[in-house]
Structure formats: C-alpha cells, structure tokens
Amino acid sequence: MREIFTIILLITISVSTFGQEQNSGADSTDVLEEVIIKGYEFNRRLIEVPATISVISKAQFNRYNNISLLPALNTAPGVRMEERSPGSYRLNIRGSSLRSPFGVRNVKVYYNNIPYTDPGGNTFFNQLGFYNINSIEIIKGPGSSLYGAGTGGVILLSGNENKFQRGASLNYTTGSFETQSIHGNIKGGSEDLNHSINLMYQKSDGYRVQTKMERKVISWDGRAKVGEKGTLRAHFLQGDLYYQTPGALTLAEYTANPKAARPAAGPTPGAVEAKAAIFQKMYLAGLNYNLVWSSRWQNNTTLYGAYSRLVNPTTRNYERRTEPHFGSRTVIQYNGNVNRSELTWIGGAEAQQGFGTVKVYTNQQGDPGNLQSDDEIVTRQWSLFTQGTLETPGGWIFTGGVSFNLLNVQLQRLSNPASFQEKKYNNEFAPRVAVLKKLAPSVSVYASVARGYSPPTNAELLPSTGVISTELEAERGTNYEAGIRGSRLNGRLTFDVNAFYFRLNNTISQRRDQSGADFFVNAGKTNQKGLESFISYRLIGQYHPVFENVKIWLSHTWHDFHYSDFQKVTDDTVDLSGKRLPSIPRHFVSAGVDAVTNIGFYANVTYYYSDPIPLNDANTDYASSYNLATARIGFRKMLTKRYSFDLFGTADNIFDVKYSLGNDINAFGGRYYNAAPGRNFALGVSMRYVW
C-alpha cells in the first residue's frame, strides 16, 4: 500500500472536491478557500477541516443531463452510485452497498438539516429529484461520533441556495427512451421573509423491458427572520414515485438479450407476468430554528415528521409497507478563547421514533392475494453527542468527539403463528479524534481515528424472505485515516488525497435464496484499505481572449477490501477468509475536461472506468470492467441583468458499451446482471428570470 500511495501522491496529487468555474457554482479553489463546510459542525473552510469530505455543487450536477444525480456523485472518489433501472438507486460509500439490495443503507442522510434516514435505517434517496438538491457534502467513513448509527458515511443534502434572490425558473429536458423532465420554481418575498416552491415531473420508458418510471415531486421552503437573533426555516416535500423492476438476469440471459426482463423459472413467474414494480409515496415536513444567544452561544433545533408508503409486487410476493416516523435534533454551540487559542464546543441530542407495518401477500399478477404475514415494527433511536475543537496560533487544529447511542426494535407478528420479539442495541460509544496542521495558508495535512457502529436496519431484521432475523448483531469498526489537501500555482492546481484503513467486525452481508428473496448474515471480520485522490488543474484562467476557463480533472479510487475471518454460513467447511468483498471494484477512475468560452459556449467531457467487480463472496463470478464516455455541449448566456438561459445537448455512453450496473450480489443461480443503458442522448433548456 505504501508504494501505491507514493506513486499516486507524486503523479496525481488530487482532490475529492471540485467544481466548475462557470457563471454559477464553485470550482475546486472556491471549495478549499471559500465554501463553508457544515460536516461535523465545523462551519469552516475545507482547508481547515480534519476530515475526509467531498463537496458536490450545483455546477457539477450541471455537467450532465439535468435528469439524474448519479454521474456527478460518481466523480467523488470512494463513492459509487448505481441505478439498476430508472428510479432504482443504490449508493455505495467505501463498500456500504454490501448491505443494500436496493436503496441506501448504512449511510446517514440529512436533508435541509432534517434527518432524512428513517429510524429503521433506510433512506428513500430516489424520492428526491434532480432539482431538489443544490449541493451535497459527503462524509466518508464512520460518522457515529455526531450522527448516530452508520459505518458507511454521512450525506448532508442542501436544497437551498446560499443567497436568496426573487425570481422564477423553468427547466425542460427530453431524451432517449421517451424520457421527459420538466421543473418549475418560483421564489418570492424578501431577505427576511421568503419562500420557494418547486414542482417537478419526470418519466421514462426505460432501456429494458419492464423499466418504466414516473416521478412527481412538490416541495416548499420558507425562511423567516425571528427578532434580531433568530431564523426559522420550514420545509415540506411530497414525492410520488412509480418504477417497474425488471429483475436480474443470468450470464446466459444477459449475453443473449441484455434488455430482457427476468423470465419465468418453474413456478416463479417472470417480472412482466408478476407486474413487478415499486409504488412509493412520501411526505416530509420539518421546522428548523437557529437562535444566536450571544457572540459565544447559539442553538440549532430541528423537528420533523414523515410518512412513507411502499407497495411492491414482485416475482415472489406482494408487499405493502407503511412507515410513519418523527424526530428531533438539537445542537448547542459555544465559541470562546483559551489564552491565544480558539475553542469551539458543541453538545446535542438526536431522537427518532418510527411505527411500521409490513403486510405480505401472494402476488396474483400484480394484485394482492392471500395474506402470508402481518408484522408491526416499532423503532426508537437516541443519540447524545459532544465535540470540542481547539485551534492554536501555530496552525494546529485539534478535535475530539464522542456519542452515546441507544436503539430498541420491537417486532410484533400478528399473522399465524403470532409472536413478539425485541432487540436492544445499548451503550454504544462512538468516539472520534482528529488533528490538522496547516503547512501553508493553502495546504494542510490531517489524521483521524474514529469508531463506528451500525445496527441492522428494519429491512435486514425483517427481509423479503419474511423470516425475522433478530439474531443479527451490529457492525462495529475502527477507521484510521490521513490526508493532505490544498492548492498551488496561485490556485490553478488543487488537490486532496487521503489514505485509510478500516477494520470492521460483525460485517453484515446480503444473501439471496432460490426465489430471489434477500436475507442477511454477520460475515465475520473485514479489512478495508483504500486510497482516494483527486486533482484539478486550470489550464486557462481569466483574461484569455477566447476562453473564460479551461480545466482538466482526475479522480482515482483504490479499494482493497477483504474478508479476514469468514466461514460460509451454509457450509462451515468452506473458509472464505481472504476473499474480496463483493460489489466493490479494486480501482475506479473518473476524469474530465471543462471548457467555457467568453461568449457563452461551453463543453464538458467525462470519462469513467471501473475494474471488474466480484459478484459473490467466493469470488467465482465477476462483472466485467467497463469504460464510459459522456459529453455535454451548450450555450449559456445572461441576456439581460434579469434574464438568462442555458441550451444544451448531452450524449451518454458514447461508445455504446455493454455493461451491468447495480448487480444483485450473492444471487442464487448466478442471477446477478442488470444491464445499463447503451448510447443515449438528451436535449434541454433552462430559463431563469429574476426581479
């Protein structure tokens, strides 16, 4: 690992946060020097934050087709977002998709300061449309010292622009597979009292059989200044999502026709016959109040309530799931001085409670049949946390934090035979210590040690097999990390590189039975080593007669993840120790060129490469490596001080590469493969008027 670290450090010293120097958004220099990082409650410039955090701005999302968040997220080292079919997302931060047949697990997500991950540990990331998110902070590694359960990382989503400006915007995109996306926004009020309304509609017929998708999202944000020292923010979101699920294919089926849906097999119907799909509705409402008591003390408190309903006819059965939940998070902050050093202390608490019902029926061609199981799940989660940060005159920043976490899950089976089970995960301490040293005003190094824990989610305690799995234990692990970031050459070169070693115990891993239903086991211990790096270099800056900006960037991730102690569950004589963790490529690379002319024409070209991916614990089957190319060409212009527009065209998978994305891991009978789209195109226009 030392040799690889040295080579990459010397050849590709790189950044995990970058952006575009266009008419909107921040470039990599801005992120390092100007953008304030909220992660770990630091509220500092990234150059002063002793943590591995990637920032993705709106300008970076706008490098692609303005339909999906996926390609922009995949430019961050250590992060892989997958889409098995339109609307079916899976997010992987340092291997966290090992537990996720779909959706986002083992990653704590906050949206506009609201806990977006439910008390049961699941996150409906796909309910958020492209225009609901303005920026993302990705904290990699255990964030339990401040954010509760999760060894995979933390994601902080912001839907609000930094500066309020009254106006209206309209965005429309159309493309291959009958894709249509339309979004409207209106902002009104004043700096002290304002609101924003978003309406979004998106549809696609999909690139495979049984992959139609339709998404409708309505959101409202309000902000009011309360007195001289208080700010009240309110948020409401309603999401209505429908997408069909084609099912995974065997290698022979994938080779013969990658666009096909899963066919019937014996008594198991095919995806088309079963009308396999997801019907998902979600309502989220939250209030956030920030009060600055004095120059030294302030408090930020959030209250929220949410309701989600999921209906899922599959080739196995028909499931109805409802999950109402509510919660609160409060943080008190103190800023003061100790001799010539600056001290920041925070303390706070987070609490969530959920009441879930899960009913499973036989599937009669897309309609519910006979009741198979009827379960109720009550989840209570508490977290108390504190953190202190000391900045000395010599450019040193020391920080230490710890949380105390409690989780209680009650599962009541009402169907015959009735049963009641309870599982408690108590007295879980999650400490974190870190140190940063500024070597120069624009260069810093840092190191950290953090312990994390992640109990099973409700979907893992009650998986699609229907067997209650309260024997599952929480994952626990310790992460060691070091990094360097900064900028040189008057800000034209920016870089951020980090190396980590993570040892995880009781690793939770996914399995699938013959019918395709998933279940989970504690898979012993894992050793996870990695190097994540990114470089951005501005070839042409200001005052060029033709170009406003020309920039190249390169992201590289090396992950060496292995089981260190794992006996196969179904056969104790099979030792899988030393095998690579499935779902995780050893190397993946993203690179690009951005060019903006003075008159408004621009182009973004992106390249992506992934190593072969192991598909099962035994490493006997692999998904092939693949290379992708994407391009966006457009014209962006401010016609007047009030009116601007952006007209663009995009091409994805330009060389029509055949590859599988969002593979089903440890699938029975080798049914791993979900074909990704071939070559496809989109055209779009964005218009904005301010007043």
CA trace torsion 475, 478, 482, 483 (10° rounding): 20
CA-wise closest residue to 473 among 520, 510, 421? 520
Distance CA 240, CA 213 (A): 11
- pLDDT reading at 305 higher than 90: yes
pLDDT of residue 452: 86
- pLDDT reading at 298 higher than 90: yes
pLDDT digits (tens, 9 = 90+) for 262-296: 999 888 899 999 999 999 999 999 999 999 999 99
pLDDT digits (tens, 9 = 90+) for 192-205: 999 999 999 999 99
Residue 74: burial class (beta carbons within 10 Å; 0-12, 13-18, 19+):
buried
Sorting pLDDT into bands at 50, 70 and 90, what band is 235? very high
Q: 371 or 515: whose pLDDT is higher?
A: 371
pLDDT of residue 570: 52
Q: What is the CATH number of the domain that holds 378?
A: 2.40.170.20
Neighbours of 275 (CB within 10 A): 19
Average pLDDT over residues 217-228: 95
Would the pTM of this model clear 0.75, i.e. be above it? yes
Backbone phi, then psi, for 372, in 5-degree steps? Answer: -105, -40
pLDDT digits (tens, 9 = 90+) for 659-686: 998 898 888 889 999 999 999 999 999 9
Mean pLDDT of the chain: 89
Distance CA 97, CA 589 (A): 18
CA-wise closest residue to 494 among 539, 436, 537? 537
CA-wise closest residue to 674 among 67, 243, 260, 92? 260
pLDDT of residue 666: 87
pLDDT of residue 24: 38
Q: 196 or 516: whose pLDDT is higher?
A: 196
Q: 467 or 414: whose pLDDT is higher?
A: 414
Domain span holding position 610: 2-690
Q: 35 or 650: whose pLDDT is higher?
A: 650
620's CB contacts (< 8 A; 6+ apart) are none
pLDDT of residue 642: 93
CA-wise closest residue to 462 among 504, 518, 542, 501? 518
Distance CA 130, CA 115 (A): 19
Mean pLDDT lowest among 209-218, 403-412, 458-467, 552-561: 458-467
DSSP designation for 150 = -
pLDDT digits (tens, 9 = 90+) for 12-68: 333 333 333 333 344 554 555 567 899 898 889 999 999 999 999 888 999 999 999
- pLDDT reading at 442 higher than 80: yes
Backbone phi, then psi, for 593, in 5-degree steps? Answer: -130, 130
* Distance from chain centroid for Cα 96: 10
Sorting pLDDT into bands at 50, 70 and 90, what band is 121? confident
Long-range contacts of 169-172 (CB under 8 A, 24+ apart): 169/686, 169/687, 169/688, 169/689, 170/686, 170/687, 171/66, 171/131, 171/684, 171/685, 171/686, 171/687, 172/684, 172/685
Backbone phi, then psi, for 669, in 5-degree steps? Answer: 70, 15
pLDDT of residue 515: 67
Give the percent of the chain with pLDDT over 70.
Answer: 92
pLDDT of residue 171: 97
Neighbours of 148 (CB within 10 A): 31
Average pLDDT over residues 362-389: 94
Q: Domains in the chain: how many in total?
A: 1
Average pLDDT over residues 461-486: 87
Can you give the length of the chain in residues?
Answer: 691
Sorting pLDDT into bands at 50, 70 and 90, what band is 1? very low
DSSP letters for 212-241? -EEEEEEEEEEEEEETTTEEEEEEEEEEEE
pLDDT digits (tens, 9 = 90+) for 131-181: 999 999 999 989 888 998 778 889 999 987 777 889 999 999 999 999 999
pLDDT of residue 368: 95
